[in-house]
Amino acid sequence: MSLSAVRRLTFLFAALLSLGAAPLHAQREKLPMADLEVVEKRWPNAKRTYTGLRYVVLQPATDSTSATPAEGTKCTVLYKGMLLDGTVFDESPNRESPLTARIGRGELIQGWDEALQRMRRGEKWILIVPPEMAYGSRGRPPTIGRNATLVFEMELVDFEKK
């Protein structure tokens, strides 16, 4: 083996070792720094998914072994959508007029698509959605500004059985 081949193999081996030293699932923080401070202060026990979505279970399901809805499932949800400062921008708070939508079909923001697939029937959550999993740099004028972190109080009332 030539000296140049040995050097290339040594370099490749060193590069592979350095990759192994880094965490495999490390993700950059998706919340803007100012928003992160507010979120960590208001919801210090919020769980964080690998995508950057955060949530707090306010009311667990009565049956912790029950199924969760899959992509394509029609779900019925009660919710209140708020900006980080508490301003309500949308809501469906009563059982007479809940929101019904399919997961993963472009009917919901990405944060909801992910959260609903983790929730069980009857659960209530606080959901904290980073801008890129909501309306991003475009916002949804006039109620939701650009790069807004959104907070939802939501309850998965029901979903269709497959």
CA–CA dist 50, 34 (Å, integer) = 20
Q: Return the beta strands (E) in 1-159 as ranges.
A: 47-48, 54-59, 74-83, 88-92, 99-102, 124-129, 150-159
Closest CA relative to residue 46, chosen from 73, 74, 84: 84
- φ, ψ at 16 (rounded to 5°): -65, -40
Spatial CA neighbour of 134 closest among 151, 117, 118: 151
* Residues annotated as part of the active site: 79, 89-90, 109, 135, 152
Count of positions (residues) in the chain: 162
